[in-house]
Amino acid sequence: MKTTVTLLLILFGYNQIAAQIPLMLGVETVTFHFKCDTRSEAAFQYFQVGYFKEREEPLRALKNYWRAINVDTTFCDAYQSLTNLYLHIGELDSALFVVNKYLTINANDEWSITKKSKILMGLDRFDEARKFLEVCIKKHPDDGWYKLNIAKCYLNSQNFDSAFYFSSQAKNTFLNQGDNYSVSDVDFFSAKLLFYSKRYEESLSLLLTLDKEFRKVIDFNAIIGLCHYNLKKQDLEKAKKYIKKAYKQGGKFDNSLLDELNIKH
């Protein structure tokens, strides 16, 4: 049997707390009546519908987030939730549209600037992404992830010197913070960077120092295999072993290479 509860709430921007009320009460249906200081009752109720429907009915959630924004064009949380939901369902262009829309209202919103850089990287628009990351790092010079993402942008632009510089800066930042997990991520990226710079022995040496967890990663096995292959060692069995494993994990390789190593495809 469904339980319906009617609540009269006076909220001052604490919508995330309000969203948890049905869970705390253990009820299925809640009718909200809001008095809000900065956004209308209708906008907030649309937002709540979107929030509760994200998992089961993402399209309905999208519609309600848009309705909330149309009612209140400054509703920051609705923009953020809409952006994240578009990203979750793989619609990067739509996510970028929403972020750009909010940036016309608040050009200095840090969340939107950071999110835009990540979306642009996902769209392979690395030069544009780097410009936004550089804005972020000026405000947060001790953020290792901004430095690492800038390095990734430089790698994809084949500016290897700058990529090495920022990956080194990122590693030093994480070391100073005692964040060994992130240090491993930087080392993995650096190994890829060495590979693309055709420094195969250095790449291979660095990869083999990484934690065994990375052996589940396609790129890890692919790059080890390709390092062996490009080093042209007489025994190509190691190249075949790792490339075959990466291929089975979903890695993409030229058919000519697979044929040369006698890997079925």
Per-10-residue mean pLDDT of the chain, 265 residues long, equals: 40 45 44 48 78 82 88 89 92 96 92 95 96 94 96 95 97 95 94 94 91 82 90 78 91 91 88
Are both 185 and 260 inside the same structural domain? no
| Structural domains in the chain (count) | 2
- The pLDDT value recorded for residue 37 is 45
The reply to whether 94 falls in a domain is no
- CA of 244: how far to CAs of 215, 238, 255, 265, in Å? 13, 10, 12, 10
Are both 112 and 193 inside the same structural domain? yes
- The residue from 172, 197, 222 where one domain ends is 197
- Please state the three-class secondary structure of 150-210 as a single string: HHHHHHHCCCHHHHHHHHHHHHHHHHHHCCHHHHHHHHHHHHHHHHHCCCHHHHHHHHCCC
- The pLDDT value recorded for residue 10 is 36
Backbone angles phi, psi at 25, to 5 degrees: -85, -15
Alpha-carbon distance 73 to 58, whole Å? 21
The reply to whether 240 falls in a domain is yes
Quote the radius of gyration of the chain (alpha carbons, Å). 24
- The pLDDT value recorded for residue 58 is 86
Given a contact cutoff of 8 angstroms between Cβ atoms, the answer to whether 149 and 120 are in contact is: no
- The pLDDT value recorded for residue 26 is 46
Phi-psi region of 124 (alpha: psi -120 to 50; beta: other; left: phi over 0): left
Alpha-carbon distance 50 to 61, whole Å? 4
Alpha-carbon distance 48 to 200, whole Å? 53
The reply to whether 227 falls in a domain is yes
CATH number assigned to the domain comprising residue 128:
1.25.40.10
- The residue from 143, 174, 197 where one domain ends is 197
Are both 181 and 232 inside the same structural domain? no
What b/e string do you get for 54-65 counting C-beta neighbours within 10 Å, with b at 16 or more? beeeeeebbebb
pTM of the predicted protein model:
0.76
The reply to whether 149 falls in a domain is yes
Given a contact cutoff of 8 angstroms between Cβ atoms, the answer to whether 194 and 202 are in contact is: yes
The reply to whether 244 falls in a domain is yes
Closest CA to 179 of 139, 148, 204, 154: 148
Are both 187 and 141 inside the same structural domain? yes
Domain that residue 193 falls in? 108-197
Are both 134 and 150 inside the same structural domain? yes
DSSP line for 39-87? S-HHHHHHHHHHHHHTTT-HHHHHHHHHHHHHH-TT-HHHHHHHHHHHH
- The pLDDT value recorded for residue 142 is 93
Are both 116 and 190 inside the same structural domain? yes
- The residue from 173, 197, 221 where one domain ends is 197
Structure tokens at 86: 């578009």
Are both 261 and 219 inside the same structural domain? yes
Alpha-carbon distance 105 to 140, whole Å? 23
- The pLDDT value recorded for residue 234 is 56
The reply to whether 260 falls in a domain is yes
The reply to whether 87 falls in a domain is no
